[in-house]
Copies of this chain bind each other. A is one copy, B any other.
Amino acid sequence: MSVESRPQPADTAGTTAARPAAAASPLPGAPTDGPLTREELHLASRNHAQPLEMLQWPVTPIGMHYLLIHFDIPKLDPTAWRLRIGGLVEHPREYTLTELRHRERRTVPVTLECAGNGRSLMEPRPVSQPWDRGGFGTAEWTGTPLAPLLHDAGIPADAVELVFTGADRGIQGGIEHSYARSLSVADAMSGDVLLAYEVNGQPLPPQHGYPLRLLVPGWYGMTSVKWLSSIEAIDHAFEGYQQTPAYHLTQSAEELGEPVQRIRPRALMVPPGIPDFFTRERFVDAGPVQLRGRAWSGHGSVDKVEVRVDGVWAEAELEPAVGPYAWRGWTFPWIASPGTHELACRASDSSGLTQPEQPEWNYQGLANNAVQRLTVTVRG
């Protein structure tokens, strides 16, 4: 296999190129109206979705939180593992897990969502992990705040970004690299960004980034780098594959577009009644039904959830949020009469955003927060 470098910043260790850029497109193939591929099926199988009935739980149980893992889950030895702080910082150093666990400890409930959630519902279908709507979860993450650690490291005035690199390595878009994403110094210094070593009161399981991951509340999940191995201060904008061209809202393979960052508002409903195994059609007994679900936004607090029954919108009752960066529950009483009904729900947040009726199509299939619609059969 020939080896050819795609330009990479010299200071982004672990992101060396080792394969020709085979694809001009950041995604494996152009969007298609064609049938689902084996590759998409395999990704759907690896990358766990959350079945919507799990919305009944205020905190997603371990094992039901969504997972999007680009390469392989690495098996890291916690005694050999170190977090390296380097690049332009004034005091480069390494931390052991024990040292990090002895720093300030904070637990934050956070709703995370994959930026690609809803991708497979776009037409034509962007070809990548084919999420329906299950790429989300809420967990209680425990770790140490990043800001004091960066303060100790000393961020010089000419630092522009911090690059977070994981131990997971593979090839995407024709480029071999370790998964890496950056944040501006201001975003990284935000008081709520954590280096997390526990989830729901337990050490991180391997698939969530053991022994340490970044956790950036309010941002789509690709930002929260798992299996974190280094943090490096750089004096320019990071251009690793996962930063650029990946995770951009664009209409074509040629145009870069805008980066995806904060989570758009979304409400989802627990499908009422019982399912058919294969079709997942829903069957509900006639009478009073308490519709319920959760809603979240990374742009502000959710201040309204509406439910639509057969075309008529009405406001749902909101429960308190599980935390400032976590979803809030909602309920809506419905008298189900025999026949077929279409249910829908949508959230609006304090920043003024609400959910669109139709997906806002883009080439990479990102940030699709279109209204959930659900047809149910009510039995007399």
- Complex interface residues of chain A between 326 and 380 (CB less than 8 A to chain B): 377, 379-380
Which of B19, B278, B379 lies in contact with A128, CB distance below 8 A? B278
Chain B residues whose CB sits within 8 angstroms of the CB of A38 once the complex forms: 36
Task: List 19 additional A-B contacts (Cβ < 8 Å) besides A36-B41, A45-B45, A48-B48.
Answer: A1-B377, A1-B379, A1-B380, A28-B277, A29-B278, A36-B37, A41-B120, A42-B280, A44-B44, A45-B48, A45-B134, A46-B51, A54-B207, A61-B205, A63-B207, A71-B274, A72-B274, A170-B274, A171-B281
Question: This chain: how many copies in the complex?
Answer: 2
- Complex interface residues of chain A between 206 and 224 (CB less than 8 A to chain B): 206-208
| A65 CB to nearest chain B CB (Å) | 8
Is there an interface contact between A71 and B120, defined as CB atoms closer than 8 Å?
no
| A304 CB to nearest chain B CB (Å) | 26
Interface centre among A1, A75, A208, A276 (most CB of B within 10 A): A276
Q: Given that A171-B277, A206-B64, A278-B128 are known contacts, is A53 also in contact with B41, CB under 8 Å in the complex?
A: no
A43: nearest residue on chain B (CB-CB)? B278
13 inter-chain pairs at a CB distance below 8 angstroms, sorted by A residue, are A28-B277, A36-B36, A36-B37, A41-B130, A41-B132, A46-B49, A56-B75, A63-B63, A64-B206, A127-B278, A128-B278, A170-B275, A171-B277
Interface centre among A171, A281, A380 (most CB of B within 10 A): A171
The 9 closest A-B pairs by CB, nearest first: A35-B35, A63-B63, A28-B278, A172-B277, A45-B49, A36-B36, A53-B72, A171-B276, A44-B44
A203: nearest residue on chain B (CB-CB)? B61
Interface centre among A171, A277, A279 (most CB of B within 10 A): A277
| A interface residues (Cβ-Cβ under 8 A, vs B) | 1, 3, 19, 27-29, 35-46, 48-49, 51, 53-54, 56-57, 61-65, 69-73, 75, 120, 127-128, 130-132, 134, 169-172, 176, 205-208, 271, 274-281, 283, 377, 379-380
Interface centre among A40, A61, A380 (most CB of B within 10 A): A61
**Cα separation A53 to B377 with both chains bound (whole Å):** 42
Chain B residues whose CB sits within 8 angstroms of the CB of A54 once the complex forms: 73, 206-207
Which of B44, B277, B283 lies in contact with A1, CB distance below 8 A? B283
| A99 CB to nearest chain B CB (Å) | 24
Is there an interface contact between A274 and B207, defined as CB atoms closer than 8 Å?
no
**Cα separation A213 to B359 with both chains bound (whole Å):** 41
Is there an interface contact between A71 and B207, defined as CB atoms closer than 8 Å?
no
Is there an interface contact between B276 and A172, defined as CB atoms closer than 8 Å?
yes
